[in-house]
Amino acid sequence: DGGITQSPKYLFRKEGQNVTLSCEQNLNHDAMYWYRQDPGQGLRLIYYSQIVNDFQKGDIAEGYSVSREKKESFPLTVTSAQKNPTAFYLCASRGPRPQPQHFGDGTRLSIL
Amino acid sequence: ILNVEQSPQSLHVQEGDSTNFTCSFPSSNFYALHWYRWETAKSPEALFVMTLNGDEKKKGRISATLNTKEGYSYLYIKGSQPEDSATYLCAYSAAAGNKLTFGGGTRVLVKP
């Protein structure tokens, strides 16, 4: 089945640690996105990539980094510079505009 | 940051009743308006992508309208069922760029 796989589903981080969230898609989509959701809020864009080896900052990129070395993969690293990393993280991909985005099941990150 | 607003934030609907809620977005540089349904413990699922002023889309008992000149879209649920309980997200896409700006969502609870 075509889709987006995020792993792990739950992730715990110690203070001062970097952690990487995985996002893989087999939909052959060029565009991929990372969002963050906090309780009671909508989705906020962290980073997005329109093509391999290219990515742009979203609205809340500080404390995060990404790479796009392969079309299928768009990992997100939450660095120690992110002061409030506890949140639910969603990855999405999209074909040519105006197609809708397809979402993974998300990763919930918590600080120990 | 673009302003996409959804109202109300939440609503309770009796099974069998119809309901509707609003998404407002910038009327300038409009490209597309997306609607997603997000059920608990699942990933967001695309309902509609609307691009033309006056557009109306329908999927089963759910329909949506679009007014790009005044910057709003309505989502209607006819004869609500418990399985319609979910958070409904709208997202605005500007003419330039490949990103979506999401509203905060309307959380719908259908009571049997």
Q: What is the pLDDT of residues B18-76, one digit of tens each?
A: 999 999 999 989 999 999 999 998 999 999 999 999 999 999 999 999 999 999 999 99
Judge contact between A34 and A45, C-beta under 8 A. Answer: yes
How many Å apart are CA A30 and CA B89, to the nearest integer? Answer: 23
CB-neighbour burial class of residue B33 (10 A; exposed 0-12, middle 13-18, buried 19+): buried
pLDDT digits (tens, 9 = 90+) for A73-103: 999 999 988 889 999 999 999 999 899 999 9
The partner residue sitting opposite B89, judged by closest CB among A33, A42, A102, is A42
A102 contacts on B by Cβ (under 8 Å): 46
DSSP H/E element including A109: strand A107-111
Instruction: Give me the residue from A59, A97, A103 closest to B43, CB to CB.
Output: A103
* Beta-sheet strands, E only, within chain B: 5-7, 10-14, 19-24, 30-38, 45-50, 56-59, 62-67, 72-77, 86-94, 100-102, 106-111
pLDDT computed for residue B1 by the predictor: 60
Which residues from B are below 8 Å from A39, CB to CB?
A: none
